[in-house]
Chains A and B, each alone.
Chain A
Amino acid sequence: MTAGLASRGANSGRSILDRLVRYALIVAIITVFAAFSAAAPTFLAPANLQSILVNNFTLLAIVAIAMTFAVSAGGIDLSVGTAVDFASFAFVSLVLSGQPVPLALLAGVASGALVGAFNAVLIAGIGISPFLATLGTLFIGRSLQQLLTNGGNPVYLPPAGIPEAFRFIGHGAIFGVPFPLIVVLVVIAASAAVLSKTRFGRVLTAIGIQTSVARYSGIAVPAHVAVTYIVAGAIAAIAGLILTSTVTVYIPSSGNAFLLNAIGATFIGTTLSPLGRPNIPGTVLGVLLLSIVSNGLLLTGLNFYWQQVGTGLLIFVVLSISFVNQRAKRRA
């Protein structure tokens, strides 16, 4: 213990820098948070902080977690938005036709899982690379939605016909905590537990790091990969359900708006892991960073369009720091 302390003292300058780099993501969040608190007086208001969590954070966090599952298994899922849309469509259609809300919810999650199952067949069954398979799914999904909605017309729920349970999902609260926030916390906790504490999660990580080694160790790789994409579809579907009950409308192909930010957050999150692996805490912090930035830039009254520039630059800086760090480690 003392030896460790002594050696750490010897090159403490270096180790502080190391830590700053290792936790670049957390440093970035704190910096951004502090900067906005100073720049925009309303930023720290409880209402605004809650708005960051409910409006900016919730949906992206769920979609990004779905993405994290696919990326941990060494793949990528470009069709998360498609799962969001299909869930949303099934949910709205069933509620519109007078079915009970729980059944509609179940059907929504099932539609998302179905999108995932289609990916699973292509990736685990046939062996197509995940990027191409899910890109194909994205395109087919886009056309299917156009067909289902007569060329892309939104499906509205009439304000009078909205069941109470439906409204609760998007706008309800338990003990003052907004219901969407409770859902996202449950999703985060459950997926973090699955990825880091269960056999399934460790197997996924193994597949993601070295598929061939996993296969030679006797792991049923295709089955695990298949389950991963189905799970990713089902998780993304939850975002679709919350989105729909918040805005009470289904807009075709609107889920794709999450895609690039979800990829960004997942890979920003990999900087938190010493091995550069995707992980749920990292992804969640990545989403938090993006949410704070987009909310804060809006509040500071900066031109609305600078938001995207700022977000892009931030992603760029965090990624650069982490990749430079990984390289330095590899050289050492």
Chain B
Amino acid sequence: MSVNALFTSTFDTDSETPPAKRRNWGGQAAAIALRGGSFIAFAAILLYFSITAPFFFTIGNIGNVLGQSAILGVLAIGLTVVIIAGGSNVVTGGIDLSVAANMGLSAAVYATVIQLGYGDGLAVLAAISTGALIGAVNAFAVVIVGVVPLLATLAVMNVVAGLELVLTQNTVVPAATDFLSFLSAAGPFGLPVLAYVLLVFTAIATAVVQFTPMGLRLYATGEFPDAARAAGLPVKGLIAGSFLASGFCAGLAGILSVSYLSGSTTGAGDMLLPVVVTALLGTVFSRRLVPTIIGTLLSALLVGFLVNGFQLLNISSTLVNGVQGLLIILVVSATTLLRRQEN
């Protein structure tokens, strides 16, 4: 920051830099502030809660937040993959509105399989296949039929939410097995196992999306489909794959939610908008303001820490929605204004 200020001032006095160039410096400074700003804001929130709420900054509490963010995090990471491959235009580009309903159905399938007396192995397989199958239906509708993702996944969401109601008759289906209690119990170092699941899952997803050629191709497809097609990338395959991945994540999140809630409960659809906001907000935590897996994880944790801190401070956690909404609007306004300045 200070270096930038120094440079601009010397240029101002000594050379005849065109005004456009000077504005560019300002824009760059603002861009750096924005990019760092999201991390500074995150750190400030953590700092504030650590000072005001005594138990906030303890390993146990942080572990709890990680564990509680696992379901949201896994779902949002799935959605992030779709957004990366589909592009950032939300109406015609990548979006998967069926993730939350998909999670609900997968959880219901898991709990029902357990109720029918089968083992965890089959239940896991059934839940993951359910998730992936719904992902495949989305992929079919978007890639083969050519329906806009927003609408295709909206219709699939309705069907899936209905199927969940049919399967569970809108009741809670309890499920208790050793595997589920292992997932919801504390693991090494007193951290919940769900926290480890989230971290390991993020690590794998980051490795695949951020560090493999396939990941790069996903970004290429999303940012410029025509160029990606001209370069010979299997654009349709990649987009279909992204919906499959998001379906898989929803299936996984379904298993996590069964263990977290000791069964399948209704109302999974309420998760939809928080998941969408988390995935879209994740772009703030990346250098180039693009969707990334780590960014989405941080965005999920930010929500988790906010809810947790509000609870510790005895503030109504319903305010978290408002904070999320404000964050989205502030962040997106800042980036939009910056882009306009750069042009």
The interface of chain A, by Cβ under 8 A from chain B, is 76, 122, 126-129, 131-133, 135-144, 146-147, 151-152, 260, 263-264, 267, 303, 305-313, 315-316, 319-320, 323-324, 326-327
Assess the B169–A305 pair: CB atoms within 8 A: yes
A89 to B163, CA, bound (A): 34
Assess the B328–A267 pair: CB atoms within 8 A: no
Which 7 pairs between the two chains have the least Cβ-Cβ distance? Answer: A143-B322, A312-B158, A139-B325, A308-B162, A309-B162, A312-B159, A305-B165
Given contacts A139-B321, A306-B162, A319-B151, contact A312 B146 (CB under 8 A): no
Instruction: Write out, one digit per residue, whether chain B residues 324-343 have a CB within 8 A of any chain A CB (1) or not (0).
Output: 11101100110011001000
Assess the A309–B166 pair: CB atoms within 8 A: yes
| Total CB contacts across the A-B interface at under 8 A | 143
Interface residue from B165, B328, B333 paired with A308 (Cβ < 8 Å): B165
Which residues of A sit under 8 angstroms from B325, Cβ to Cβ? 135-143
Residue B212 at the A interface, CB < 8 A? no
A126 to B323, CA, bound (A): 19
Interface residue from A135, A146, A315 paired with B273 (Cβ < 8 Å): A135
Which residues of B sit under 8 angstroms from A312, Cβ to Cβ? 155-162
B170 to chain A, nearest CB (A): 7
Q: Find the B residue at minimum CB distance from A256.
A: B273
Assess the A264–B166 pair: CB atoms within 8 A: no
A132 to B165, CA, bound (A): 30
Assess the A140–B161 pair: CB atoms within 8 A: no
How big is chain B's contact interface, by range? Answer: 35 or more
B313 to chain A, nearest CB (A): 16
Is the contact region of chain B dominated by helix, strand, or loop, or is it mixed?
helix
A309 to chain B, nearest CB (A): 3
A-B contact list, 17 entries, CB within 8 Å: A126-B333, A126-B336, A127-B337, A127-B340, A128-B332, A132-B90, A139-B273, A151-B318, A152-B318, A260-B157, A260-B158, A267-B151, A309-B162, A309-B166, A313-B159, A316-B156, A324-B146
Interface centre among B89, B155, B170, B324 (most CB of A within 10 A): B155
Instruction: Write out, one digit per residue, whether chain B residues 161-191 have a CB within 8 A of any chain A CB (1) or not (0).
Output: 1110110011000000000000000000000
